[in-house]
C-alpha cells in the first residue's frame, strides 16, 4: 500500500505538471500543483500493479479515467518478472552436456521457435551470437558454465522474446569500448530488440569497456554515425530486463561507461542486482536516452574513481525527449555520487538508502526539467541531496543526516518543505535486502541495520519464515522482530507491517 501511495503521488504530480504545461522545458514548477488529487478511497480502490505507465499522460484526465487506466494495465515490468520467475520450471527441448568451446553456439543455432536449451556443464564456452527469436537459454541448477572472450553475447538486430539465465561472463573484451559491451552487446549500429530478459547472470572481471553496453548508435564519425549522436524515440528498443544479476569489477570504461550501460531503451527493468565496482572506473548503472525505466531493489557499491556514479540518468547528444526513470528501494554506498540525475532527465526516486559518497547522495543537475525525491535516506556523504541552480525538483519526507558539509544543498531557490528531516527519525523504507555475512559461533544470528525503519518488521530468510527463533530489537523506539534461520541463510528481507 505504501508503494502504491507513493507511486500515485508520482503519477499525479507528473500528470498535472504535464497538463499545465510545466513539463518539459519550463523553468519553474508551479508550487500549487495539487499533490492530493486522489482521496484515500480512490487510492484504496487501485488494485493494479505499481508499474503504471507514467509517461503517456500529456493531457489532463479525470480521476476516474486514471483509475480505469491503472486497473486495466497488467504491468509491463511485472510481466517480465513473471517470465523470469518461471524459467527454472521450463522443460528443456535440448540439453547441452558437451564441453567444447564452440558447442554452446552450435546448440543455440539448433533451437527452433519456442524451444528451451538447458546447459548441464561447467565448461568455458566461446562467445555466442543470438540471432533467433522466441528462445530460452538456461542453466540447470548446480552447474556454472562460463563464456569468455571478445563480445561474450551479441544480440542481433530485430530479435525478440529471448530469455538468458544462469550464465557467467568472465574475462570478456570489447573492440569498441564506447559502443559495444564486453559481455553483452549489439552486433551492429542501428540495432533494436524487444522483450529480452537476462536473469541470474554473473559479470566478473571485464577486461576493457563496459560489461553490458547496448547502444543504438556507433563509434565512428567516418561511418556517418557516432555513439554520441542524438537518440530519437523511433530508435528505442523495448522491454529489456536485468533481474537478479551480479556485477563484480565489470567496467573499465571511463568516458561514458558503466557496469550496466544502456542507451535508447524503453521499459528497461533493472531489479534485484548487486553491482560492486571494487573501486574501478565509471558507473554502476548508466541510462542515456531511455524512457520509462524502473531501477529497483539493487545494491550498488564502490564506484569512487573516475566518474563514479552509482546510478546515472542522462541524455546523450542533443536531447529529443526527456530521459526518465523510477529509482526505488536501492542501497548505494561508497560512490562519488549515489544517484545523479543529469541533462534533460527526470527521475522519481524514493525509498533509497545512500551513504558514504564523496560528493552527493543525490544530485539533480541544472538542466533537469522535473524530478521528485521522496523518503530517501542520505547519510555520511559529503552532501545529502543537492539541487543545482536551474534544477527543477520537489523533495518530500527525505532524511539527510550526518553528511559532512550539507544535509541539503539547495542552489536553485527552492524552499525546502518542513517534512524533509535532518535526523533519522520518521522515514520508512518499504523493503530492503542485505547479505548476512556474520554468523556467531553459537549459532545465533548477528547483523547490522544501516537504516532506520518505522513500524514492525518481520525478517524472512530465503523466502521462508522461521518461527519461534527470533529476538526483538529496538531501534529509535520501534520494534524489529528477526526470525532466524540456519547458517545456510544468505539474505534477510524486511517486511514492514503498517
Residue 384, CA distances (Å) to 144, 265, 351, 373, 415 in order: 41, 30, 14, 12, 16
Distance between terminal CA atoms of the chain?
A: 9
Residues 174 and 229 in one domain: yes
Note whether residue 423 is domain-resident.
Answer: no
Q: What is the DSSP string of 297-349?
A: S-EEEEE-BSS-EEEEEE--SS-SS-EEEEEES-EEEEESEEEEE-TTEEEEE
Note whether residue 396 is domain-resident.
Answer: no
**What SS3 class is residue 266?**
strand
Tens digits of pLDDT across the chain (498 residues): 333 333 333 333 333 233 322 233 322 222 222 222 222 222 232 222 223 332 332 222 332 333 333 333 337 888 899 899 999 999 999 999 999 999 999 999 999 999 999 999 999 999 999 999 999 999 999 999 999 999 999 999 999 999 999 999 999 999 888 889 999 999 998 999 999 999 999 999 999 999 999 999 886 555 566 788 888 999 999 999 999 999 999 988 877 889 999 999 999 999 999 999 987 778 999 999 998 888 999 999 999 887 789 999 999 888 888 888 889 889 999 999 999 999 888 888 888 999 999 999 999 998 888 888 888 989 999 999 999 999 988 898 888 999 999 999 999 999 999 888 887 643 333 333 333 333 333 333 333 333 333 333 444 333 444 333 344 444 334 444 444 333 333 233 333 332
Domain harbouring 161, CATH code: 2.160.20.10
Residues 56 and 145 in one domain: no
Residue 205 pLDDT: 93
Residues 268 and 175 in one domain: yes
Residues 44 and 128 in one domain: no
Residues 214 and 268 in one domain: yes
Residues 41 and 182 in one domain: no
Phi-psi region of 228 (alpha: psi -120 to 50; beta: other; left: phi over 0): alpha
Note whether residue 367 is domain-resident.
Answer: no
C-alpha cell read off for 410: 539547495
Distance CA 6, CA 12 (A): 10
Select from 334, 350, 366 the last residue of a domain. 350
Select from 21, 51, 73 the last residue of a domain. 73
Residue 424 pLDDT: 65
Note whether residue 324 is domain-resident.
Answer: yes
Residues 97 and 69 in one domain: no
Residue 222 pLDDT: 55
Please report which helix (H) or strand (E) contains residue 139, including its range. Answer: strand 135-139
Note whether residue 401 is domain-resident.
Answer: no
Distance CA 342, CA 315 (A): 7
Q: What is the DSSP string of 43-101?
A: HHH--S-S----S---S---HHHHHHHHHH---HHHHHHHHHHTGGGPPPSEEE----T
Residues 180 and 52 in one domain: no
Domain count, the chain: 3
Note whether residue 288 is domain-resident.
Answer: yes
Residues 325 and 467 in one domain: no
Closest to 275 in 3D by CA, of 232, 335, 227: 335
Residues 324 and 466 in one domain: no
Residues 194 and 112 in one domain: yes
Residues 51 and 95 in one domain: no
Residue 38 pLDDT: 25
Note whether residue 266 is domain-resident.
Answer: yes
Distance CA 414, CA 391 (A): 9
Closest to 324 in 3D by CA, of 49, 5, 28, 13: 13
Label residue 75 exposed, middle or buried (CB < 10 Å: 0-12, 13-18, 19+): middle
Select from 73, 97, 114 the last residue of a domain. 73
Note whether residue 359 is domain-resident.
Answer: no
The angle subtended at Cα 144 by Cα 130 and Cα 463, nearest 5°, is: 105
Which residue range forms the structural domain that includes residue 482? 433-497
Please report which helix (H) or strand (E) contains residue 350, including its range. Answer: strand 345-350
Contact indicator for 115, 90 with CB cutoff of 8 Å: no
Distance CA 148, CA 152 (A): 6
Closest to 391 in 3D by CA, of 373, 414, 365: 365
**What is the sign, positive or negative, of the torsion defined by CA atoms of 485, 490, 492, 493?**
negative
Amino acid at each position: 500500500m505504501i508503494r502504491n501511495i507513493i507511486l500515485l503521488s508520482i503519477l499525479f504530480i507528473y500528470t498535472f505538471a504535464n497538463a499545465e504545461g510545466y513539463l518539459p522545458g519550463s523553468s519553474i514548477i508551479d508550487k500549487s500543483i495539487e499533490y492530493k488529487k486522489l482521496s484515500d478511497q480512490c487510492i484504496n480502490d487501485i488494485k493494479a500493479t505499481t508499474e503504471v505507465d507514467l509517461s503517456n499522460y500529456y493531457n489532463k484526465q479525470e480521476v476516474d479515467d486514471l483509475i480505469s487506466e491503472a486497473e486495466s494495465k497488467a504491468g509491463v515490468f511485472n510481466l517480465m518478472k513473471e517470465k523470469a520467475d518461471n524459467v527454472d520450471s521450463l522443460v528443456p527441448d535440448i540439453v547441452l552436456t558437451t564441453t567444447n568451446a564452440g558447442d554452446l553456439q552450435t546448440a543455440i543455432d539448433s533451437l527452433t521457435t519456442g524451444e528451451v536449451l538447458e546447459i548441464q556443464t561447467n565448461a568455458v564456452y566461446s562467445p555466442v551470437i543470438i540471432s533467433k527469436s522466441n528462445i530460452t537459454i538456461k542453466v540447470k541448477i548446480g552447474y556454472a558454465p562460463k563464456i569468455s572472450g571478445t563480445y561474450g553475447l551479441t544480440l542481433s538486430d530485430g530479435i525478440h522474446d529471448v530469455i538468458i539465465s544462469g550464465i557467467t561472463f568472465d574475462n570478456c573484451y570489447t573492440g569498441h569500448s564506447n559502443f559495444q559491451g564486453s559481455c553483452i552487446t549489439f552486433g551492429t549500429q542501428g540495432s533494436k530488440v524487444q522483450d529480452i530478459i537476462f536473469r541470474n547472470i554473473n559479470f566478473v572481471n571485464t577486461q576493457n569497456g563496459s560489461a553490458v553496453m547496448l547502444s543504438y548508435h556507433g563509434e565512428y564519425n567516418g561511418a556517418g554515425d557516432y555513439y554520441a549522436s542524438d537518440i530519437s524515440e523511433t530508435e528505442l528498443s523495448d522491454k529489456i530486463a536485468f533481474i537478479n544479476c551480479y556485477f563484480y569489477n565489470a567496467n573499465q570504461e571511463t568516458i561514458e561507461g558503466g557496469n550496466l550501460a544502456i542507451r535508447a531503451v524503453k521499459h528497461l527493468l533493472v531489479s534485484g542486482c548487486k553491482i560492486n565496482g571494487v573501486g574501478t572506473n565509471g558507473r554502476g548503472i548508466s541510462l542515456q536516452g531511455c524512457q520509462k525505466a524502473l531501477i529497483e531493489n539493487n545494491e550498488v557499491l564502490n564506484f569512487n574513481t573516475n566518474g563514479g556514479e552509482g546510478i546515472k540518468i542522462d541524455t546523450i547528444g542533443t536531447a529529443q525527449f526527456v530521459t526518465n526513470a523510477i529509482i526505488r528501494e536501492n542501497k548505494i554506498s561508497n560512490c562519488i555520487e549515489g544517484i545523479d540525475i543529469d541533462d534533460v532527465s527526470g527521475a522519481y526516486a524514493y525509498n533509497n538508502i545512500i551513504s558514504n559518497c564523496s560528493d552527493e547522495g543525490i544530485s539533480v543537475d541544472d538542466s533537469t526539467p522535473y524530478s521528485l525525491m521522496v523518503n530517501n535516506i542520505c547519510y555520511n556523504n559529503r552532501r545529502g541531496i543537492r539541487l543545482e541552480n536551474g534544477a527543477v525538483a520537489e523533495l518530500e519526507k527525505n532524511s539527510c543526516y550526518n553528511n559532512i558539509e550539507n544535509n541539503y544543498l539547495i542552489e536553485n531557490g527552492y524552499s525546502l518543505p518542513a517534512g524533509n528531516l535532518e535526523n533519522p527519525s520518521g522515514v520508512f523504507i518499504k523493503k530492503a535486502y542485505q547479505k548476512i555475512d556474520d554468523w556467531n559461533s553459537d549459532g545465533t544470528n548477528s547483523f547490522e541495520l544501516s537504516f532506520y525503519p518505522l513500524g514492525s518488521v518481520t525478517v524472512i530468510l530465503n523466502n521462508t519464515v522461521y518461527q519461534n527463533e527470533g529476538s526483538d530489537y529496538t531501534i529509535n523506539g520501534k520494534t524489529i522482530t528477526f526470525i532466524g534461520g540456519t547458517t545456510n541463510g544468505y539474505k534477510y528481507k524486511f517486511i514492514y507491517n503498517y
